[in-house]
Structure 1
Amino acid sequence: MAAFPNVNAAQKYARDVVGGKILACSFVKAACARHLNDLKASKAKAYPYKFDRDAAERVCSFIQLMPHTKGKWARGKQRIKLEPWQLFIFSMIYGWKIKADNTRRFREAYIEVPRKNGKSIIAAGAGIYGLCADNEYGAEVYCGATSEKQAWEVFRPALTMAKKLPNLRKKFNVVTWAKKLERPDGSKFEPLIGDPGDGASPSLGIIDEYHEHRDSSLYDTIISGMGSRDQPLVLVITTAGSDIAGPCYVMRDRCVNMLEGTEQEDDLFAIIYTIDKDDDWTSEEAILKANPNAGVSVSLSYLKARQASGIKHARKTNNIKTKHFNIWVSAKESFFNMEAWRKCEDRTLRIQDFAGIDCYYGFDLARKLDLTGMVRVFVKRINEQNHYYCIGPTFWVPEDTVNSDEDRRTSERYQGWVNAEFLEATDGAEIDYREVLAHATEANEEAPAQESGIDPHGAANLSHQLDDAGMNPVTIAQSYTHMSDPMKELEAAILTGRFHHDGHPIMTWCVGNVVGKYLPGNDDVVRPIKQGNQNKIDGAVALIMAIGRAMNAAQSGGSILDSLSDDDILVM
Structure 2
Amino acid sequence: MTVPIPTTFPAWIYDGSEIPDPFGRGEAAVSWLKALRHPKSRAARSVFQLDPWQERVVRRIYGPCRPDGTRIVKTVVLLLPRGNRKTSLCAALALLHTYGPERVNGGEVISAASDRKQARIALDEALGIIGVVPPIKQITAAQEYKNRIVNTRRRSFYEAISCDAGTQHGRTPVFVIADELHAWKKRDLWDVLKSGLVKTPGSLLIVATTAGRGQENIAHDIVEDARRVARGAVDDPSILPILFETAKEEDWRDEAVWRRVNPGLAHGYPDIEGLRQLAREGERRPGDREAFRQLNLNVWLDHSADPFVDMDVYDEGSAPVDLDALEGEPCWLGVDLSSNGDLTCIVAAWRDGEDGYIVHPWFFCPEDNLRTRAERDGVPYPLWAERGFITPTPGNVVDFRFVEDTIRDLCARFRVQEIAFDPHLARNTLNTLLEEGFPAVEMRQGWVTMAPAVKELERAVVGRRFIHGAHPVLRWNFENIAVHTDPAGNRMFHKGKSRDRIDGAVAGAMAVARAAAGDGGGSIYESDEWSPELMVL
Same fold by TM-score, threshold 0.5 exceeded?
yes
Q: CA deviation at 1:166?
A: 2.7
Work out the CA distance in 2 between the residues paired with 1:378 and 1:93.
Answer: 52
The answer on whether the counterparts of 1:328 and 1:339 sit within 8 Å (CA) in structure 2 is no
| TM superposition shift of 1:141 | 0.7
Paired position in structure 1 for 2:422: 455
Answering whether residue 32 of structure 2 is matched by residue 62 of structure 1, we say yes
Distance change in 2, residues 1:470/1:256 (3 Å)? farther
Q: 1:375 aligns with which of 336, 341, 347?
A: 347
Give distance in 2, aligned partners of 1:57 and 1:251. 29
Aligned match of 1:142: 110
Which of these residues, 111, 120, 128, is aligned with residue 152 of structure 1? 120
Alpha-carbon distance in structure 2 between the residues aligned to 1:320 and 1:545: 35
| TM-superposition CA deviations, 1:51-70 (whole Å, max 9, x none) | 75843344344333333443
> Where do residues 74-153 of structure 1 align in structure 2 (5 Å cutoff)?
77-84=46-53, 86-98=54-66, 101-131=68-98, 132-153=100-121
* Alpha-carbon offset, residue 365 of structure 1: 0.9
Task: Specify the alignment match of 1:185 in structure 2.
Answer: 154
In 2, Cα distance between the equivalents of 1:369 and 1:176?
44
C-alpha distance in 1 between matches for 2:496 and 2:299: 19
Structure 2: how far apart are the matches of 1:444 and 1:495? 30
- Distance change (3 Å), C-alpha of 1:411 and 1:140: closer
Q: For 1:271 and 1:482, locate their aligned partners in 2 and report how far apart those are by CA, in whole Å.
A: 48
**Residues 162 and 378 of structure 1, relative CA distance in 2, 3 Å threshold:** farther
Q: Which amino acid aligns with 1:526?
A: R
**How high is the sequence identity, in percent, across the aligned residues?**
23
Partners of 1:118 and 1:91 in 2: how far apart? 18
Q: Secondary structure at the match of 1:73?
A: coil
Is the partner of 1:545 in helix, strand or coil? helix
Question: Residue deviations 1:139-187, cap 9 Å, x none?
Answer: 21111123332112211222222222234567xx555565433222221
Structure 2: give runs of 5+ residues left out of the alignment: 521-537
When structure 1 is superposed on structure 2, of 481-490 and 340-349 the one drifting more is 340-349
Give 1:90 deviation, angstroms: 3.1
Contact 1:140 1:201 in 2 (8 A): yes
Deviation at 1:312, TM superposition (A): 0.9
Q: Deviations over 1:216-274 (max 9, x none)?
A: 12211112222320022222211123464333234334434554566665533333322
CA deviation string 1:388-419 (max 9, x = no partner): 4444x2211122353769x9524985334334
Shift of 1:329: 3.8
Aligned AA (1:143): S
Q: Mapping of 1:418-433 within 5 angstroms?
A: 418-433=385-400
Verify: 1:28 aligned to 2:8, yes or no.
yes
Name the aligned partner's letter for residue 28 of structure 1: T
**Partner amino acid, structure 2, of 1:279:** E
Q: How does 1:3-42 map to 2 (within 5 A)?
A: 28-29=8-9
Match of 1:252 in 2: 223
TM-score scaled to structure 1, two decimals? 0.77
Letter in 2 for 1:399: E
Q: Classify 1:533/1:74 alpha carbon distance in 2 versus 1 (closer, same or farther; 3 Å).
A: same
Work out which structure has the larger RCO, using CA pairs closer than 8 Å and 6 or more positions apart in sequence: 2
For structure 1, list consecutive stretches of 5 or more residues without a partner in the other structure: 1-18, 41-49, 556-572
Aligned equivalents of 1:34 and 1:486: distance in 2?
Answer: 50
Equivalent residue, structure 2, for 1:509: 476
Question: Is the CA contact 1:68–1:74 (under 8 Å) kept in the aligned structure 2?
Answer: no
- Report the equivalent of 1:538: 503
Residue in structure 2 matched with residue 283 of structure 1 by the alignment: 254
- Verify: 1:551 aligned to 2:516, yes or no: yes
Change in Cα spacing, 1:403 to 1:138, as seen in structure 2 (3 Å) is: closer
Deviation at 1:215, TM superposition (A): 0.3
